[in-house]
Structures are given as C-alpha cells and as structure tokens.
Structure 1
Amino acid sequence: MRAALKTADGRFTVEEIDPPELPAADWVRARVRVAGICGTDLRHWKKHEPELACHVMGHELAGEVVEVGRDVTRVAPGDRVVIETVLGCGHCDWCRARQYNRCPDLYPTRTRSVSRAYAEFVVGPQHKFYRLPEHVGFDDAALIDTFSVCLHAHHLAGLTIGDTAAIIGAGPIGLGQLMLAKASGARAIVIDTVEHSLAVARELGADSVVRADRDDPVAAVLAFTGGRGAEVAFECAGGEAMPTTLPWATRMARRGGAAVIVGGFDAGEVTIPLEWQRIQMSEIRLLPSASFALHDIDPEQGQVLDLVARGVLKTQPLITHRFPLERINEAFEVAQDKERTGAIFVALEL
C-alpha cells in the first residue's frame, strides 16, 4: 500500500509498504479515503525526531471497510465509516473504567493500528468503527475526531444556556468549540490573528470576534461581558502560543469560572507564569482536556457523528484545502502557513 512515512527531519516520503493484517477475529480493515492534518501533526512538522522516522502518522480519518474478522458484527465490507483513533491498552484501570483517553499506554497503543491515517489501509477493533449516513461524506467525517475533542472539553466545562464562552483560536478546534457553544445557547466571542478564520467564525454564529494582533483580547472579552468575564474560556491554540494564550484564558474567565485547556502542549516541562493569587482568590478552575472517550454511557465520537449528521456541527466551511497523499509535504506547508493561505482544515485524499 502507499503510505507517507515520517523522515528524521520531520517531513514525509511516500513509499510502498506492506498493508496491515487483522490481528484478531473482532478487528476490521478499512481503506482510508480522507485524512486530516491537525495541530498535533503540525507540532511535529519539520522537527528533528529520529524516533519517528519511517512511522505512519495521522489520526483524523474516514474510509471504507474492506475486510472483517470472523467475529465482527458491527460493520461489513463496503460500509462507509469514520474510525475512532483514541485506543487504549484495554486492561489498565482507566481503560476498565472506560476512561481510555487517560490510558498511560494510549499513544504507543493507538499508533500501532488505528492512528495511522496517512496510508491506504488501517486496522482496528470493530467498536472503533462507526457507519456513516449516506449524506455524510468522507471529508465531513474526517472532522469528527476534531469535533469529538471539542465535545469532550464542552462536557468538562459544563457550558450551558445563557453562559458566555471566550474561545482562543479559530482553527478547527476553536470553530468546533464555537458551534457547540452556540448549540448550547451560550454567547461566544472568538479570538485569533487570521482574518479568514475569524470570518468563518462570524459565518458560524460568533457573537463577536477579536483580532488579537490588533486589539487586547482580554479587554475585549471583559467589555463583551460587561466587565465580569466569561463563564468559560477555552484555550484552543496550544503549542508555541500557550505561554501567551493560557494566561489570557485565566484572565478572561470570570470569578468562579473556568479556563479549559484544549490546545496541546509539547512534551517536557513548560514554564508559564500565571496570576496564581487571582486564580485562587477567584476560584477559577483550570480544566485540562485530553482527547475524548465516553460521556455517561455514550461514546463522544458517536455523539459527534449524530451532531454532524443532523447539521448541528458544520464541516464544509472549515475544509479550505484538499491534496492527494503524494503532495503531503505541500499540504503541511499550507496548513502551517495559515496567515498566508487561510488554511483551517486541510484534507488529504487517498
């Protein structure tokens, strides 16, 4: 099969490799049709990481079932599916409690099977495959992983009708967070530096937007809320922006409110000064949010598929660019240089 393999310098080379085999009777093999490039992928772009050389990356994908094990009942060959890539070890305390997003072995486990989107075929256990309604395209479904991250953060935050959400970052995560906030009856103010992304935020229902490179975002949120602050501030930028954006989030949150950390950190220790006395005296909750799992008895990815199918969560306004797998390096350049390209969600079509 064709696959984009990571190089030691952080780029990709497209080569022919052996396709994955079914390791168990309840596993499924699917042909990948669309895969996405997310912020986590971009944090590894052009980064010297020899340990990732020759690995297949990517974790936002949809495709078609081509083979099933003898015990599979959930899907059948020919089914169009979205594939959940948050796969834990299955036997630790957290997996047994169905909190598999907290599994200590999450990344080694998922990257051995389902989290290999930049290749023609993937395999995974049947419970990670969700059938797509006819009107949901592969490109729509490739955003379901992203929106599931948003829904998990939304559930943790407890945002509800009448609240105000301040959303830092208008990439796919931030825009997903916006749509969930509006669907919950909250007001939303979105902060970013890319005009095209803010224009899409307006199109999706943002009550206010802020160009953070022109205006003070904290002052803008306070003005929007009559000086009180937002019930929830979602940090959705992550990465190198975090030393700036996380303090913003804690200052945007009202007394008794919450700052939800949705954007990702790089590995290792990161020092970010915060106004700890104000946070403590105001009882502002800092809520780290990691991937997604279940909410009550329902898988969050299944809930998001339903929201996309019903049109509550929009996908097409976010899909700004499409590339074949052979042009994956160009696709990553476009996704990274969003100020110039206006990229939001970049799709790879296999």
Structure 2
Amino acid sequence: MATITQLSETVSSQSIHNDSSSGKFVPEALVDKLQKGGVNPDRIWRHGERPNIALWVTKDHRIYQEEIPYPVCGPNNCIVHVRATGICGSEIHFWKTGRIGDCMVDHDLILGHESAGEILEVGANVTNFKRGDRVSIEPGVTCWECKQCLSGRYNLCPDVKFSGTPPSHGTMARYISHPARFLHRIPDAMSYAHGALVEPLSVAVGAIGRCQPKLGQPVLVCGAGPIGLAVAIAARAAGAHPVLITDLEESRLTQANQLGFNLTLKIDLTWDRFETVKRIRDVFGSECRPELAFECTGAQSSIVSAFYALVEGGTLVQIGHGKPEIELPVMAMTFREVNVINSFRYKQTWPTVIRLLNDNILAEATKLITHTFPLEQTIDAFQTCVTRDSKSIKVQIVDN
C-alpha cells in the first residue's frame, strides 16, 4: 500500500541564496538516495519558496512523497519550477512491476518525465534563457559525443540519462535542475499542462516520422491509451485515412469516438488471431486493408494480430513495451514481406510538436487530459491511473 512521509509545512521567507544560513544539513541517507539517481545536493539544506516535494518509487513496489533540498544550478543548467507533469504508463510499470524490459528499479527513484515549468535560475554558461521563461522539458539528456548523437539519432545514445528511468531521478518534484540544452521555450498562450503533453506527443510524432504515412493510407492503431490516441491523432494529421483503433476497454474506445475516430473495435481476449484479424478487416471493409499498424500495447497477442491484419508488404511500427521476450511469427512475416519498424522515444521533435500544438494541428490531443491533481496529492493521482472505474487517460500533476 502506498505510504506518505509527513511533509514539513514550513514555508521559508528567506531567499534561496540566503536560506543556507539556517545550517540544516541534508541527512546522509537522503544524500545517498539522491546521488544514486545522479543528483548531487549541497550538504547544507537549501529551500525554495515552498518545500521541494518529490514522488519516489522503491524496488519493493511502494510509492511515497518526501521533501528534498532545492537543487543546485550547474553552469549549463537551469532551475525549473515544474508546473505540470503527466503520469506515463512507464511509471506505472516501474511502480507495479519494478521494471520495463531489462531496465529495473534497484534503488529509491524519483519518477516523472512529462513536464513543463518556469525557469527560476540560469547557469553561468546559459545565454538563451532567463528567469521567468516558460519551457517544456525534454527528459533524455544525451552525451552529444557518441556516434548515435553525432549522426542525429540521439534517442539511441548508450549513455543517455533519461528522467525518471533507472538509474536517473525524474521530474516529479517541485524544483529540478535540468540542462538548458534540453529545455524548449513554449508560447505565452500555451498552458503548462499542454507543454507537458509535448513529451507523449513526441513519442507519437517520432513514430510517424519512422514510417511517414501517405495521404489516404489506411492505418490500424492497437491500444487506445494515451500513446495510442496520440499516435492516432498524429497519423490523422499526417493524412492517414481511415484510422481504426482497437482496445480491450469500451470506455477508452468511447473516448476515441469523442476525439473524432469513428472506426473502433473492442478486442475480446477469447478470440484467436484469426478471429481478431477477421473482425479488424470487417471494420475496414472489403475494399480496404491496413497498410500501416502502430502497436502501442506491447502485448504479444496484439502484436501478432496487428501483423496478420496488415496487407502483404505492409509495415508494423512497434511502440508499446511489453515483456522482455516475445514470440513472433518470423517466417510468416518473411513470406508476406511485412516490414517491422521499432520506434524508441523521439529525436528533434520538441520544436515541431510545440508548433503543431500552438497552431491547433494537434488540438484534439489536449482532450487527453482527463484528471488533474495538485503536487501534494501525487499518490492519489497514481491510484487514479490504476483504478479502472476512473476511466482516466492522461492524469497530470500541477503546481500553480
């Protein structure tokens, strides 16, 4: 069961720079926890205007909130007051199972990677931001020295430090320090909530970029969660038509309908792949079969069904993360020349997504936000994500 550490209600009236005069030391146990995730705090506890509450997950599947010191602003970093953070399915995986593939939680970890906020301080070497700038946070901090980074595929950097993914601490705190290179200014008219949507939309736009749909190309999207719906919105904006969305939950398909997707199919787990494929093709109609399939669940049965539903020579884009090892019909894929493309996170998507959101090209995506909680109620927000009756899509934590 989730536990909450009691938080100090004292709000410092001193400035951040002078608050160290209190002489309070950061407990060694907390220093150790922070350092394991790549955060090196001052040994003297520094405070912001309010307690720097963070959401932690443990390797034994607990989540808790605990106050941490105000962060140190390195010369190439900015201090950001995180104003909005979305909860991703990956965070639920780390909480409930302790891993995604080979990536495991082996120490107390601060979660979070879908965030936007306000810059409070800039490092000595930072010239393109100032205090008060509003930014969306790109969570993957890469080395910019390896072959992948230099070739433009920095999403594949082997030394990436990705916020909220073991071993790196994330953005689910009130104040964080983040490299200025991975901050992106958002328009004044864009809310922080929408700025936090740039990350999941980047996953969708990154997947679209991997396969480049053609105008009028039939598309199947497996999974009507936040990423599946974001992919469907992005595919439609790219010209795909028709777009069919499948899911196990009727409530999620209803939400897809409300986003303007009229072709949906509720999957029954008692169906074998032949029945599933027949049902998918029946919805498309006899004159139309999917040429692209975006698989957003990671479930083996969904991947296999998507493959068989495709037209010969079609393309399966794998986005969802499931078990570390999955069986696939490789020979059948070969005989039918089905292309398989894996899409991992994103690269160079932030400016594009911010522009598409601001210009209302992806306006429907803002409807993905179904629940909002204050930072102090982050644990309640996580419980909402895993409560089926809540019918949540994107749950966000905000700090006004």
Q: Give the TM-score taking structure 2 as reference length.
A: 0.79
**Which one scores higher on RCO, CA 8 angstroms, separation ≥ 6?**
1
CA shift at 1:68, angstroms?
A: 0.5
Does residue 66 of structure 2 align to residue 7 of structure 1? no
Whether the aligned pair in 1 keeps the contact of 2:81 and 2:117 (CA below 8 Å) is yes
* Alignment correspondent of 1:323: 373
Paired letter, 2:291: E
* Alignment correspondent of 2:148: 94
Query: After superposition, where does 1:104-183 map in structure 2 within 5 Å?
Result: 104-107=158-161, 116-183=170-237
> Gaps spanning 5+ residues in structure 1: where?
294-298
* Alignment correspondent of 1:243: 300
Whether the aligned pair in 2 keeps the contact of 1:167 and 1:236 (CA below 8 Å) is yes
CA shift at 1:114, angstroms?
A: 8.6
Q: Give the TM-score taking structure 1 as reference length.
A: 0.89
Paired letter, 1:159: P
CA shift at 1:228, angstroms?
A: 5.6
* Percentage of pairs with the same residue: 30
Whether the aligned pair in 2 keeps the contact of 1:101 and 1:290 (CA below 8 Å) is yes
How far apart, in 2, do the equivalents of 1:110 and 1:213 lie?
34
Whether the aligned pair in 1 keeps the contact of 2:120 and 2:131 (CA below 8 Å) is yes
How far apart, in 1, do the equivalents of 2:358 and 2:180 lie?
21
Does residue 94 of structure 2 align to residue 56 of structure 1? no
Task: Render the CA deviation track for 1:19-72: whole Å, top value 9, x for unaligned.
Answer: 32122x232110101111111111112335794433211110011000101222
Paired letter, 2:392: A
Does residue 250 of structure 2 align to residue 190 of structure 1? no
Q: Secondary structure at the match of 1:348?
A: strand
Paired letter, 1:12: I
Whether the aligned pair in 1 keeps the contact of 2:113 and 2:163 (CA below 8 Å) is no
* Alignment correspondent of 2:9: none
Whether the aligned pair in 1 keeps the contact of 2:202 and 2:345 (CA below 8 Å) is yes
Paired letter, 2:63: F
How far apart, in 2, do the equivalents of 1:72 and 1:113 lie?
26
- Give the stretch that moved more between structures: 251-260 or 12-21: 12-21
How far apart, in 2, do the equivalents of 1:252 and 1:110 lie?
35
Task: Render the CA deviation track for 1:188-230: whole Å, top value 9, x for unaligned.
Answer: 0000122222122122232400011388542233220527631
Distance of aligned partners of 1:91 and 1:58 in 2 relative to their CA distance in 1, 3 Å threshold: same
Whether the aligned pair in 2 keeps the contact of 1:37 and 1:345 (CA below 8 Å) is yes
How far apart, in 2, do the equivalents of 1:192 and 1:141 lie?
27
How far apart, in 1, do the equivalents of 2:373 and 2:106 lie?
23
Paired letter, 1:68: V
Q: Secondary structure at the match of 1:153?
A: helix
Paired letter, 2:252: S
Does residue 361 of structure 2 align to residue 307 of structure 1? no
Pairs aligned (count): 337
Paired letter, 1:229: R
* Alignment correspondent of 2:82: 32
CA shift at 1:291, angstroms?
A: 0.3
CA shift at 1:110, angstroms?
A: 7.6
* Alignment correspondent of 2:259: 204
* Alignment correspondent of 1:296: none
